[in-house]
Structure 1
Amino acid sequence: MRTNSFDGLCDACSAHVAAGSGSLTGKPGRWRTWCLACSPRPPARGAHDGWHRLPLASLDFETTGVDPHADRVVSYALLDEPGFEITGLIDPGVPIPTAASDVHGITETMVAGAPGPAEALTVVIDWVQALIERRVGLVVFNACYDLTMLRAEAQRHGLAEPDWERLLVVDPYVLDWGIERGGLGQRRLVDVAAYYGVRLDGAHDATVDARAAREVAVELAARHATVGTTSLEDLMGHQRTWYADRAEDWNSYARRVGRDLDDPTGWPLAS
């Protein structure tokens, strides 16, 4: 959801909503304006058991850019059991663009002397493989980006890869789309966190983002029993379907306006 930029009528109660005083949901051609009282809110937490009551790990990277095949990891956060965190900087061996530094605050000076990718990412890969053996779900917001980058980095540096086929991934980005079907508009981590009441101070810090993503995943499962009571194994199939649905929804728009198309099969690893 975003703040409404223009005057309008509330979609629910038809009250006048002045610009900047309500919220806006939807997508181009299907915008909906809401007054504050009627703005969409998530359901209350349920009492059901589910994977949100199990141990969950979380991973996040900060990187040199937005291409998971070509860009490089510059910092990582691995969150596991309470009190267990592994974080670090990586010297990617390539320049860090100013545009990337402006987002996450990590500069070439900061990573000078940090471990290189082969050393640092071996720690990440070993940890991911340990999660696979323990059958612990790994929360990654927009998993196809971070996990595709991890695979690309592993192949680039000749590292053994995790057993991807057995990895249990929980992607709040995809889960949120599966629940809302894109009806709430742009849903970055900061948007989904705000919607579910998860605190996110200092976005684009790997530890902050990993922690918020895990908390969002728990809230999604606690507030939507059909998601929370699904086994993590079955949830993998649902997420692949929802990711494909989201890609096709975008592609129908992209074809009309001449934008690049998304790969409907690109979750949790993009081709």
Structure 2
Amino acid sequence: MSWHRGTLVGFDLETTGTDVENDRIVTAALVRLDADGTVAEQRTWLLDPGVAIPEQASAIHGIGTDHARRHGARAVVAVEEIAHAVAEVLRSGVPLVVMNARYDLSLLDRECRRHGLPSVDERVGGEPSPVIDPLVIDKHVDKYRKGKRALQALCDHYGVALDGAHEASADAVAAVRVVRRMGERHRPVGTLPLAELHALQIRAAAEQSASLQAYLRRSNPAAVVEASWPMIPRGR
């Protein structure tokens, strides 16, 4: 059976910013969707990240510092639960769908390190896999399409409703539904075994980064674009 016809689990984070080395998790969601597209199980977390949430971030996901401090779980407790839940999904062999996995999985890894917790790769005994990233796949199958590639843009392109953008569970569900449409529409990708699909994304992400880096170096010779996927190695 093709991977897009089976159970998929979406994972999404909303955070204090875009720096995987220094920013923090504010909300997280893991959502399991059955083969027919219905939500079978959902877990969500609200964290007190332990730092002030910048106004720019609050404007995107709607969570302010005061709300997070009053209602959020201690970061160390929630990060442990999130990492454990993600590792459980990966150990089960169910694909983990993560829009821009390089960001979300790297930030979760750094949060584990910050709190002295085992990382996801330590929990599963290797690189997180199988991971399916709608951003990487879309750029691979439709590399010359103009326009944005953010989740809302992919939803518009593939005909998927996104109600409540930048709310972690809504984004996780939308990412799964988008990637199903990709699998249905682009048969070479949709028919690949999961191990081959994961390996394809590693290669595709590196090629995409190299292409962007070459473009940026036309005006900035020092520009560097991260090539690793699905996670940025520690110490970069």
Asked if these proteins are the same fold (TM beyond 0.5), I'd say yes
Aligned to 1:101: 58
TM-aligned CA deviation for residue 166 of structure 1: 4.9
One-letter amino acid of the counterpart of residue 202, structure 1: G
Q: Distance in 1 between matches of 2:30 and 2:115?
A: 20
Q: Deviations over 1:80-102 (max 9, x none)?
A: 25331011210000110011101
TM normalised by structure 2 equals 0.90
Contact conserved, 2:129 with 2:198, CA < 8 A, in 1?
Answer: no
Aligned to 1:230: 192
Aligned to 1:122: 80
Q: What RMSD, in angstroms, separates the aligned Cα atoms of the two structures? A: 1.3
Contact conserved, 2:160 with 2:178, CA < 8 A, in 1?
Answer: yes
Aligned to 1:69: 21
- Aligned-partner SS, 1:76: strand
Q: Distance in 2 between matches of 1:184 and 1:136?
A: 32
TM-aligned CA deviation for residue 184 of structure 1: 2.6
Aligned to 1:7: none
Aligned to 2:135: 173
Q: Which structure 1 residue ranges, 5 or more long, are not aligned?
A: 1-48
Q: Deviations over 1:125-159 (max 9, x none)?
A: 11111112210100000000000000000000011
Q: Deviations over 1:145-199 (max 9, x none)?
A: 0000000000000111222425210000000011012433321111111000000
TM-aligned CA deviation for residue 234 of structure 1: 0.7
Aligned to 2:158: 196
Decide which structure has greater helix share.
Answer: 2
Aligned to 2:36: none
Q: Distance in 1 between matches of 2:230 and 2:64?
A: 29
1:213 to 166, 170, 175: 175
Q: Deviations over 1:212-265 (max 9, x none)?
A: 00000100001111011101111111001110111011111110121732122x
One-letter amino acid of the counterpart of residue 3, structure 2: W
TM normalised by structure 1 equals 0.79
Contact conserved, 2:48 with 2:75, CA < 8 A, in 1?
Answer: yes
Q: Distance in 2 between matches of 1:182 and 1:159?
A: 41
Q: Distance in 2 between matches of 1:200 and 1:184?
A: 21
Q: Distance in 2 between matches of 1:261 and 1:201?
A: 35
Aligned to 1:85: 42
- Aligned-partner SS, 1:80: strand
1:261 aligns to 2:230 (yes or no): no
Computing the radius of gyration from Cα coordinates, the structure with the larger value is: 1
Q: Distance in 1 between matches of 2:68 and 2:128?
A: 33
Aligned to 2:213: 251
- Aligned-partner SS, 2:166: coil
- Aligned-partner SS, 1:203: coil
TM-aligned CA deviation for residue 112 of structure 1: 1.6
- Aligned-partner SS, 1:84: strand
Instruction: Give the total of aligned pairs.
Output: 222
Q: Distance in 1 between matches of 2:131 and 2:17?
A: 23
Change (3 A) 1:166 1:209: closer
Aligned to 1:153: 111
1:141 aligns to 2:99 (yes or no): yes
Q: Distance in 2 between matches of 1:54 and 1:102?
A: 35
Q: Deviations over 1:109-130 (max 9, x none)?
A: 2112321221001111111111
Contact conserved, 2:134 with 2:178, CA < 8 A, in 1?
Answer: yes
Q: Distance in 1 between matches of 2:153 and 2:97?
A: 17
Q: Give percent identity, aligned residues only.
A: 37
Q: Which structure 2 residue ranges, 5 or more long, are not aligned?
A: 34-38
Contact conserved, 2:11 with 2:96, CA < 8 A, in 1?
Answer: yes
Contact conserved, 2:13 with 2:104, CA < 8 A, in 1?
Answer: yes
Which sits farther off after the overlay, 203-212 or 112-121? 112-121
Contact conserved, 2:90 with 2:130, CA < 8 A, in 1?
Answer: yes
